[in-house]
Every structure is written in structure tokens, then in C-alpha cells.
Amino acid sequence: MKQFILATSLLVGTIIGAGIFSLPFVFSQAGIIGGVLFGLVVSLIAVCIFLMYADLVLDDHSEHRIMGLARYYFGKKGFFSLLFVNGLGTLFVLTTYIVLSVSFLKLFFADTPFLILALVFWLLSFWAIFLRIKNEAQLEFFATMGIGIVIVMILGFGLSHLEEFSLSLSPFSPFLFVLPIGAFLFSLGGRAVIPDVVLFLKGEKKQIRWAVSSGVFISLALYFVFVIGVVSMSDVITQDGVSGLVKLPWNVQIIMGVLGIFALWSSFISNGSDLFRSFRQDVGLPRLVAGGIVSLVPIVFVFVGFDNFLMLVSIVGGLFLAIEWSSIVLMWIAMRKKKPQEVSVLGNVDPSVLVIIFLVLCMAIVYTVYMTLFF
């Protein structure tokens, strides 16, 4: 039971992150019914994807992660294609951290221009990517703890204003009804920690199934409560979920700002360092070139116009994560064809379920590309 709780907690801690701040605005667009339905659908898909990935991890005995599995199942071309997708996706994640950091910095410097604050956060963060950080796990822990405390503070004060909660049942912007797909995909991105969950539970398939399902739906439940808290305290529901929290006491806003900035700083360094190593080891780029790409591209993205938090969340979730999850489905199908008799963590899946998953992920990809290019 102890290992099960630890594995579930690890997954919840990995899933809950910056994406949570996009959800209040998403619910304001999709309405309560739309938001809840999309949350449930994407959560079910996330459970399936994570269990498929657990199957792949259990089947592979060389401790490969997703890039090693891509090389095995897709060959060299597939490996470099997924590497490109993951690399570009991570660069957009780092850009998302910079943009969201401005919302927290605005709690201190309300009148300072957006680009100045973005540059300040970037200057405080990028140099650490070049350092050899011995224990990135501690950075991830502190990042998760910082975001966790911010969420608890918002929940506490939000529930005290529960009588002011007001949100329409149905969406008032029909075209944006598809918007929650990318936001929820981003917010439920916990695939990277699945190998550790498998290791914690020593390959026990039933426990893995329950831990993954519990972790995803506990996260979803916390998201729903968080949305209620933010909506209750916001006169205007903003795209970042932070700048509209006008009903928080000033001293609480300061504490929340410090914790939020620290959490984003830690996440920026951790994710940036991981991508830096990938460029060095998987691609063989020189140290300065790899570090230059990881540190400079995100701030360049901000200056060329990728400065909308919700747009970035949608791009990362609806495009890059959707492609990654689709690749996991394809690898899982290939594995099952080779070993059809072996008991799967996911269990027997009707082909129609795989079709539905692909349709949802393809819809997210097409919608994200269309919105990015034409809006």
C-alpha cells in the first residue's frame, strides 16, 4: 500500500503544473458542461496512453525511455522525427514558463512592460542550463511544492468566496468549444514519470493500472476544485488564471508571486537541462550550440509574438503532446502484434477505442495548427 500511495503521489505531483492556470479561462469558454466533459474524455485518454506506455516499458528490458523506444519501433527516421517534436515541444514549454512568469511578476511590478519582465525572468533562468545540476529531482520537488502551495492558497481563499461562483453551463463561444482539448492535454502531461511508477510498483500490472487511474483522476478532481476557487475570486477570468485574482489580500498575492516565480524558475531549469542533455547525447551537438538553442530560442519566441499563455498551452498540448501520445499508441499496437498473448497492463482494448483516441488526438492537432496559423 505504501508503494502504491507513493507511486500515485508521484504521478499527481508530475501532472499538476503550469497548465492548471489555463483551465479557469477554458471553463469560461466551454462552460461547466463542456469543461467537465472534455476533462473526463481527455483523462480517460490519458489513462489509456499512460498504461500503453507502461506496457512498452515493461516489455523493454534495456531501461529505454520514449526516445529509445522510438528508435526501436520506428527506426532512425522515426527516432529523429520524434526527437524533433519533443525538442520543439519542450522549447515551447520553456516559452510558456516565461510568459506565465510575467503574470506572477506583475503582482509586484504591475506597470512594468511585459517584455521587460519576460527578459528579467529569462536572465534569472537561462544561465543555469549550462551548469551541471547534480540533483534535478530536488528542483522538480521544489517546483512541485511551490505550485502546490500556490494552488492550496487559491483553493482556501476561493472556497471562502464560494457564494460568488458564477459560470455558465453551456459555452458562449461555440467555435472555441474545441479549445479544452489542447489545454487539458497540456495539463494532464505526466507520461515522463510512468517508468518510475512501474519501478515503484515492481511491475505489478494491477497496481500500475490502479495507480495510473487514481493519479489522473485525482489530478482532474483537483483541477475542478481549483477552477471553482479561481472563478469565485475573479471579477474577470483571465487567460493565465493569475492576474484576475483581485480578491486575494495583498500580502497573500506577494507570497503567491514569490512561490509561483520560484516554481517556474525551477521547472525552466529542470526541463531546459533535460533538453540540453538530449541535444548533447542524442544528437551530438556541441555544448555551446545545444545550450544556445535551449536558452535563446524560448526568449526569441516571446519577442516574435508567442506571448499568449493560452495559445502556448494549446500549442504544446494540442500539437506536440498529441503527436507524442499518437506515437505511443502506434508503438503499443506494434508491440501487441508481436506478443498478442501476453497480458497487457491496459488489458484487451476494442479497436474502436483506439480509433476514438486517434480521432480526438487528430482533432486536437488539426485544430491547433488551424488556430495557430489563422488566428
Question: How many angstroms separate the CA atoms of 168 and 178, rounded?
Answer: 17
Question: How many angstroms separate the CA atoms of 40 and 34, rounded?
Answer: 10
Q: Read off the pLDDT of each residue in 9-27 and give the average, rounded to a whole number.
A: 86
145 in Cβ contact with 289 (< 8 Å): no
Residue with grid cell 498504461, as numbered in its chain: 51
Q: Left (φ > 0), alpha (ψ -120 to 50) or beta: where does 75 sit?
A: left
Question: How many angstroms separate the CA atoms of 21 and 230, rounded?
Answer: 9
Q: Which residues, at least 6 apart from 189, have a Cβ–Cβ distance to it below 8 Å?
A: 15, 17, 19, 317, 321
Query: Which pTM was predicted?
Result: 0.87
170 in Cβ contact with 34 (< 8 Å): yes
Total number of residues shown for the chain? 375
Question: How many angstroms separate the CA atoms of 99 and 12, rounded?
Answer: 24
Task: Locate 59 and state its grid cell.
Answer: 516489455
Measured over the CA atoms of residue 335, residue 339, residue 343 and residue 348, the dihedral's sign is positive
Q: For the chain, give every domain's residue range.
A: 2-374
- The model's pLDDT over 137-173, given as tens digits with 9 standing for 90+, comes to 566 666 677 777 877 877 777 666 666 556 555 555 5
pLDDT for 235 = 73
Give the residue, 70 or 162, on which the prediction is more confident: 70
Task: Using alpha carbons, list the distances in angstroms from residue 35 to 80, 102, 271, 319.
Answer: 35, 26, 29, 19
Residue-wise DSSP of 188-238: T--GGGHHHHHHHTTT-HHHHHHHHHHHHHHHHHHHHHHHHHHHHH-SS--
> What CATH architecture does domain 2-374 belong to?
Up-down Bundle (1.20)
Measured over the CA atoms of residue 320, residue 99, residue 369 and residue 168, the dihedral's sign is positive
Compute the mean pLDDT over every residue in the chain, rounded to the nearest whole number. Answer: 83
pLDDT for 170 = 53
pLDDT for 175 = 47
pLDDT for 372 = 78
